[in-house]
């Protein structure tokens, strides 16, 4: 199985570097261990990886999420499969430690025809999402148990003096793997606590189709994408879908993927700055697979405009998980260059 995870595009301090990389490695390791015993459902492995990140208080997802204006935790999450392009998402969900679990359960419901002939939902928000989550009692927790001392302190600092510290954003995972039918499949997912001091009921890109994650596989080409950053602007750009389609087109016509990604993210930055003069904040991990005869070529792309982006990844040919924090060489420029790198996976 090929898997990659990210801890968000943001401004990770040097003192948090080691802890973040360790948790990202653990997320990959847990997904890989599960794949060794149950290799058929790549969606499950993406869910497993993201649950590890949601359980860690250093990320803005699940436990330790940013607090709303009302000092509560409300989370968004989504997950998507590549071969069938099934999608499940929840928004503004409270009292659930692992929102990605509920999103995945909704994806499962979406796959089953309704007995009354209704179109099954792929997104539930607020009370509707909460009612659906009640079907899975093991996911429900007291709302106050999701609030960490660090999240409370950050809320108080921003409320009192507008401190400009930036907390890590949406976490996510992407994975390719072969099932017992020998066919390659993939999945992508995201999870987020959303903006600090957001209005209760606000839904961000992590729950929106085409914005927070994307997965597609056709004509021997697979594309998986997981996004992080400024949700309102990412939703306007349908950034996960836009970036994935640009990469897919480049692969089909043997064009430069680096150039394709630079064009998409340059357009995102330019359109964002028309509305907001501050530095545009977005990042993505994108995994591509190209099937050629009996071989599959897999590559991981990382692109971001923020000061840093933390990632980890593992492939069958690697002896262990690799994790790193990528840092923008010029993080304070008013017209930010776009950091893009590619990693070949074997």
Per-domain residue ranges for the chain? 2-345
pLDDT tens for each residue of 222-281: 999 999 999 999 999 999 999 999 999 999 999 999 999 999 999 999 999 898 887 788
Helix/strand/coil for 134: coil
Sign of torsion over alpha carbons 141, 147, 148, 151? positive
Helix/strand/coil for 166: coil
Distance of CA 335 to the CA centre of its chain: 25
Q: How far apart are CA 76 and CA 62, in angstroms?
A: 9
Residues 6+ apart with CB under 8 A from 185: 42, 81, 82, 83, 176, 177, 178, 179, 217
Which residues are known to be catalytic? 170
Low-confidence ranges of the chain (pLDDT < 70): 39, 162-168, 179-180, 331-336
CA distances from 1 to 166, 186, 219, 269, 332 (A): 33, 10, 20, 34, 37
Q: How many residues does the chain have?
A: 346
Confidence at residue 179, expressed as pLDDT on a 0 to 100 scale = 67
Residues 6+ apart with CB under 8 A from 293: none
Confidence at residue 133, expressed as pLDDT on a 0 to 100 scale = 98
Q: If you compute the radius of gyration of the chain from its CA atoms, what whole number of angstroms results?
A: 19
Report the relative pairing of strands 322-327 and 339-345 from DSSP bridges: unpaired
CA distances from 28 to 261, 286, 338 (A): 25, 16, 26
307, 66, 104, 182 alpha-carbon torsion, rounded to 10°: 20
Are the C-beta atoms of residues 50 and 44 closer than 8 Å to each other?
A: no
Q: How far apart are CA 149 and CA 267, in angstroms?
A: 38
Confidence at residue 123, expressed as pLDDT on a 0 to 100 scale = 98
pLDDT tens for each residue of 82-117: 999 999 999 999 999 999 999 999 999 988 888 888
CA distances from 308 to 107, 282, 303 (A): 31, 10, 10
What burial class does residue 158 get, using C-beta atoms within 10 Å of its C-beta: 0-12 exposed, 13-18 middle, 19+ buried?
A: middle
Confidence at residue 292, expressed as pLDDT on a 0 to 100 scale = 81
What is the topology classification, in CATH, of domain 2-345?
Answer: 3.60.20
Which long-range contacts (C-beta less than 8 Å, at least 24 apart) are formed by 256-263?
A: 257/288, 257/301, 257/342, 258/340, 258/342, 261/286, 261/301, 261/303, 261/338, 261/340, 262/338, 262/340
């Amino acid at each position: 199985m090929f898997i990659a995870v990210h801890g968000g595009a943001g401004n990770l301090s040097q003192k948090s570097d080691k802890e973040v990389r360790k948790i990202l490695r653990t997320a990959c390791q847990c997904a890989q261990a599960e794949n060794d015993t149950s290799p058929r459902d790549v969606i499950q492995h993406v869910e497993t990886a993201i649950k590890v990140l949601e359980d860690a208080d250093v990320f803005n997802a699940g436990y330790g999420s940013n607090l709303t204006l009302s000092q509560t935790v409300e989370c968004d999450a989504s997950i998507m499969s590549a071969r069938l392009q099934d999608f499940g998402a929840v928004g503004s969900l409270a009292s659930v430690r692992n929102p990605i679990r509920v999103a995945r359960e909704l994806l499962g419901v979406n796959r089953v025809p309704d007995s009354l002939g209704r179109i099954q939902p792929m997104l539930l928000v607020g009370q509707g999402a909460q009612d659906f989550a009640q079907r899975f009692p093991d996911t429900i927790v007291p709302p106050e148990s999701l609030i960490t001392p660090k999240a409370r302190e950050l809320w108080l600092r921003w409320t009192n003096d507008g401190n400009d510290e930036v907390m890590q954003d949406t976490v996510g995972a992407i994975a390719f793997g072969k099932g017992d039918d020998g066919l390659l499949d993939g999945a992508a997912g995201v999870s987020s606590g959303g903006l600090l001091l957001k209005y209760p009921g606000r839904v961000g890109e992590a729950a929106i189709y085409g914005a927070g994650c994307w997965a597609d596989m056709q004509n021997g080409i697979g594309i998986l994408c997981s996004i992080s950053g400024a949700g309102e602007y990412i939703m306007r750009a349908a950034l996960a879908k836009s970036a994935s389609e640009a990469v897919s087109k480049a692969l089909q016509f043997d064009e430069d993927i680096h150039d394709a990604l630079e064009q998409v993210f340059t357009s995102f930055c330019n359109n964002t700055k028309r509305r907001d003069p501050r530095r545009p904040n977005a990042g993505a991990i994108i995994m591509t697979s190209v099937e050629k005869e009996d071989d599959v070529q897999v590559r991981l792309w990382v692109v971001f405009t923020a000061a840093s982006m933390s990632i980890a990844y593992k492939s069958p040919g690697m002896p262990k998980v690799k994790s790193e924090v990528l840092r923008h060489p010029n993080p304070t420029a008013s017209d930010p260059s776009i950091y893009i790198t590619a990693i070949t996976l074997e």
